[in-house]
Amino acid sequence: MRQSKPFISARLGGWTIAAFKIAGAGATAIVILSVLMCAYSFIPVHIENPNGNTDYIWPAGSVWFRATEGIGWGKYDGNGYNNPTVIEHPDILLLGSSHMEAQYIPQNDAMAAVMCDLFDGEHTVYNMGISGHTFFKICQYLPRNIELYRDSVKYVILEAYFVNVTQNDVNEVMEHKVDFATSHLNPIMKFVNDVPGLRIIDHQRKVGFFDLFKNPEDRKRSAFSLDEENYPSDVSESDLPAYDTLFEYLSSIEKDTGVELIVFYHPTESFDSEGHILFERGEAYEAFAGAAEKHHIDFVDASEEFTRMFYRDHHVAHGFCTGKLGAGHLNSYGHRASAEVLVRFIREKEKKEAAADVND
């Protein structure tokens, strides 16, 4: 028996009303989530860097607040980096990843700011850390950063939080093909980034929300692991020459520009069953540190200072009370310990150079 047209129209009308209700409820939920996000993670959308010395920068002068991992706040400087103010003619540049960008601690606790305080006018340190900038991306942008600050820069600190190097990584640095991290790929993604509620949902998607619906074995295999899957501690024989190639490249930049490079390594700590702090020293570490020494690139390892801090003050360098201690980004204690290590290293280096000049 055929259904009458009024019945079909009524049914379609009911579906339409239901669809509008669902859409309205979804929009309301996104608005509420966006408002709540302002008290949880309030950051602008980054923009492409017109100077070509980092992938992107933040809108100049914009404020930020985060309670996602630790609790941090600040205001981006006029160049779009996380500093209290722009330093026009810095003699030390600090290049690094999200650890150096330091969006998880108060801005004045960040390593560059602490170094400026410790130097007390002796040196000025400008933080240009950007989230997503691995050691390879830093190396790729190094010549451009030196060019921009050629009139003042004496030292460039290159942050490293892993020491595994492959030939493919080095090839990408040499060919300037390290992946560019974009803030939005198309108008839809731009809209997603502009709406805080949608932005956090997309972030949850990226970090594995849908893995919750996989069986446990698949989740374990696909999970990101800084120490195991992505950055193993061993080195294949075919990749050993890559360490030499990379540090030979850095050495050539140092010789061509006269700017002294300092590679700063802050390993993540682990703990044994008795509560002792441990730092891994595998083949990758030996190859990395060995290549730096061979090519006369200063290599500063913060693990000794982190160990002293742990036993003396009972603080760890990574992790926060809002998450897991000993994991994640550098916290305020880690930034201060790192700053102290680097300030001490630079002062001792300059003292030795001054003594050598007197003897000559």
Kindly give the confidence (pLDDT) of every residue in the chain, 360 residues in length, as a single tens digit, with 9 standing for 90 and above.
455 666 566 666 677 787 777 888 877 887 777 777 777 778 888 889 999 999 999 999 999 988 888 899 999 999 999 999 999 999 999 999 999 999 999 999 999 999 999 999 999 999 999 998 999 999 999 999 999 999 999 999 999 998 999 999 999 999 988 888 665 556 777 777 777 767 777 767 776 666 666 666 665 444 333 333 445 567 778 889 999 999 999 999 999 999 999 999 999 999 988 889 999 888 999 999 999 999 999 999 999 999 999 999 999 999 988 777 788 899 999 999 999 999 999 999 999 998 887 776
Question: What is the C-alpha to C-alpha distance for residues 217 and 204, in angstroms, rounded to an integer?
Answer: 20
The residues, any chain, with a CB within 8 Å of residue 71's CB and separated by 6 or more, are 104, 105, 106, 320, 322
What are the domain boundaries of the chain?
A: 1-37, 42-194+231-359
Planar angle of CA 130, 180, 246, nearest 5 degrees: 80
Report the C-alpha gap between 23 and 17 in whole angstroms: 10
With tokens 């993604």, the residue in question is: 189
Q: Are strands 92-95 and 125-127 parallel, antiparallel or unpaired?
A: parallel
Instruction: Quickly count: other Cβ atoms within 10 Å of residue 115's Cβ.
Output: 24
Q: DSSP character for 318? A: B
The predicted model scores a pTM of 0.84
Task: Indicate the pairing of strand 72-75 with strand 56-57.
Answer: unpaired
CA angle 209, 214, 219 (to 5 degrees): 75
Strands (DSSP E) found in the chain: 41-42, 47-48, 56-57, 63-66, 72-75, 92-95, 125-127, 155-160, 260-265, 270-271, 277-278, 298-301
Q: What is the pLDDT of residue 151?
A: 95
Q: Span 42-194+231-359: which CATH code?
A: 3.40.50.1110
Residue 84 has, within 13 A of its CA and on its CB side, a CA count of 13
**Strand 63-66 to 155-160 pairing:** unpaired
| Contact status, residue 318 vs residue 309, Cβ threshold 8 Å | no
Q: What is the pLDDT of residue 114?
A: 98
Query: Are 151 and 120 contacting, i.e. CB atoms less than 8 angstroms apart?
Result: no
Cα 42-46-47 angle, rounded to 5 deg: 155
Closest CA to 43 of 68, 12, 24: 68
